[in-house]
Amino acid sequence: MNERTSRRKFLSDTSKASLATGLGITIAGSLLESCSVFRKSMPESNVLHTGFTQQPLPYAYKALEPMIDAMTMEIHYSRHAASYAKALNEEAQVLQIDTTKPLEDVLTRISKTSVKMRNNAGGHYNHELFWQSMTPNGKGTPSGKLLSAIESTFGTFSDFKTKFADEAKTRFGSGWAWLVIDADKKLKLGSTPNQDNPLMDVSLFRGTPLLGLDVWEHAYYLKYQNKRPDYIDNWWKTVNWDYIQQRYEALV
């Protein structure tokens, strides 16, 4: 190969390499830009969003013993809660509801749907929140902004527990007790019957739930029989305050 041919080959190879590098940079830049747009389009947190599918229980059935026994947890999760999820999706199909959107969108306009949707959307939402609100490693008390808000609203943390427990104990029949944050960013306590919750436009007690306690008998009867107050007292030991704080801080 003579000197002129070698020079032409060198220039050709250099040009190809530069083109490949340029294309690589362009493609990489496009991908990074796309990823950036994707990241921006994703919600920062899904802690406030509930889907239509029953999520795996975040701990073993026996993990909350002795406060909540394994058999109660298994029956509660795999039968009661699972039946709400199944019926919810059946009714969503009938009503042509978009199940890719958060369930909260349906709850806030539940009066425009059906009784079956109200019962089962509520049942599914309430239980999905309930499972996450408990942990085998409960630390007993919240901290930070949430604790400050509880103390400024209800007095001491002990006062808050007493008032919340009273809501749970005095809910006649089946239902739920709630700690919510309202539209004015204030904490409130209340309860709802059956599987209603404070997000529903039919509820007399309104707000975004931070913490909910199931006081249907199927939640405690195997262990506590008719002693709802004992169930409530022991349940405090399971509360996942880290999760409740995440919900609170996402809203204030």
At 168-204, the pLDDT tens digits run 999 999 999 999 999 999 999 999 999 999 999 999 9
pLDDT above 90 for 117: yes
pLDDT of residue 139: 86
Q: How far apart are CA 43 and CA 166, in angstroms?
A: 36
pLDDT above 50 for 14: no
pLDDT, mean of residues 134-139: 93
pLDDT, mean of residues 143-164: 97
pLDDT above 60 for 32: no
Name the packing angle between helices 228-235 and 157-170 (round to 10°).
150
pLDDT of residue 43: 36
Number of residues written out for the chain: 252
Order of strands across the sheet that contains 208-214:
187-193, 175-181, 208-214
pTM: 0.82
CATH number for region 70-251: 3.55.40.20
At 226-251, the pLDDT tens digits run: 999 999 999 999 999 999 999 999 99
Q: Considering the chain, what percentage of its residues have pLDDT values greater than 90? A: 80
Triad 190, 192, 195: Cα angle to 5°: 145
pLDDT, mean of residues 207-216: 98
